[in-house]
């Protein structure tokens, strides 16, 4: 099984900063249809997202699970897309509280979420792709052994390119490149 590992904020939805409620969630243009094209091409869709807003006390894991349920329901109902799984990291090494204040192997650029998904869903990482909007997303994919790495958005051309990274304007451009 191959997968498309997808960051959430800035790739799937407009990054309004710590989005945790359906009323604040806004899909980026053409994302639902791009997800459908990835699914039709045989990719299992897996969301891997740093969510330090939990550790910072801005929202709870229950809030995030509810939002993920809403996202999945909307995509299934409107375009027939199934998100196989949502993975998130609630930790932050310096800006969180309590049990969330720590260095971990799940916060990107670490590959922990990708490895967890690969084990749980029998994903062949060598046949998979990752789409993110930050260098940390790309680094996580590379560290996990994902060979096709796409960075979206206006910052895609900024900074030092990460080995294997391909810059695209948005997620809607990715299916045509596979």
* pLDDT classification of 72: cutoffs 50, 70, 90: very high
Q: Which residue has the tokens 């807003």?
A: 53
Please report the pLDDT score of residue 156 as a whole number. Answer: 44
How high is the pLDDT of residue 130? 98
pLDDT at 162 over 90: no
Rounded Cα distance between 100 and 160, Å, is 30
Task: Give the mean pLDDT of 40-49.
Answer: 98
Helix (H) / strand (E) element for 6: namely strand 2-6
140 in a structural domain: no
Judge whether residue 158 has pLDDT over 70. no
Helix, strand, coil in percent for the chain, rounding step 5? 40, 20, 40
The token pair that represents 117 in the structure block:
């998904």
Q: What does the pLDDT average to over 161-174?
A: 85
Which pLDDT score, from 0 to 100, does residue 161 have? 56
Q: Which residue has the higher pLDDT, 155 or 5?
A: 5
Taken as a whole, the chain contains a residue count of: 178
Per the prediction, the chain carries an average pLDDT of 94
pLDDT at 109 over 90: yes
pLDDT at 28 over 50: yes
| Inside any domain, residue 39 | yes
Residue 133 resides in a domain: no
Q: What's the pLDDT score for residue 153? A: 79
What's the pLDDT score for residue 154?
A: 53
| Among 9, 30, 133, 173, the one annotated catalytic | 9
Distance, in Å, from the CA atom of 134 to the CA atom of 8, rounded to the nearest integer, reads 11
The percentage of the chain sitting over the pLDDT mark of 90, rounded to a whole number, equals: 93
Reading the block at residue 52, the tokens are 């330090």
pLDDT for residue 56? 97
- What is the number of structural domains in the chain? 1
What average pLDDT score do residues 13-34 get?
Answer: 97
Q: Is 126 exposed, middle or buried (0-12, 13-18, 19+ CB in 10 A)?
A: exposed
Would you say 49 and 64 are in contact if contact means Cβ atoms under 8 Å apart?
Answer: no
Strand (E) positions, 59-153?
Answer: 83-89, 129-132, 148-152
Q: Out of 7, 63, 124, 133, pick the active-site residue.
A: 7
Parent domain of 26: 20-100
Q: Is 7 a catalytic residue?
A: yes
In a domain, 71, yes or no: yes
Helix (H) or strand (E) holding 75: helix 61-79
Identify whether 77 is part of a domain. yes
**Is 163 part of any domain?**
no
- Least reliable range by pLDDT among 11-25, 112-126, 143-157: 143-157
Rg (CA), the chain: 15
**Per-residue pLDDT averaged across 31-40, rounded?**
98
CATH number at residue 58: 3.40.50.1000
- Whether 173 sits among the annotated catalytic residues: the reply is no
């Amino acid at each position: 099984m191959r997968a498309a590992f997808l960051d959430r904020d800035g790739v799937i939805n407009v990054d309004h900063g710590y989005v945790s409620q359906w009323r604040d969630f806004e899909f980026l243009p053409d994302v639902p249809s791009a997800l459908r094209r990835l699914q039709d091409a045989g990719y299992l869709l897996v969301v891997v997202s740093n969510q330090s807003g939990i550790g910072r006390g801005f929202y709870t894991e229950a809030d995030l699970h509810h939002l993920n349920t809403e996202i999945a329901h909307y995509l299934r109902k409107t375009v027939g897309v199934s998100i196989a799984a949502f993975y998130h990291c609630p930790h932050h090494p310096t800006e969180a509280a309590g049990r969330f204040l720590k260095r971990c192997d799940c916060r990107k650029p670490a590959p922990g979420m990708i490895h967890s998904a690969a084990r749980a869903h029998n994903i062949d990482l060598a046949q998979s792709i990752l789409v993110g909007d930050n260098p940390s997303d790309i680094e996580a994919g590379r560290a996990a052994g994902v060979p096709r790495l796409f960075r979206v958005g206006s910052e895609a051309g900024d900074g030092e390119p990460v080995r294997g990274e391909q810059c695209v304007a948005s997620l809607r451009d990715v299916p045509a490149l596979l």
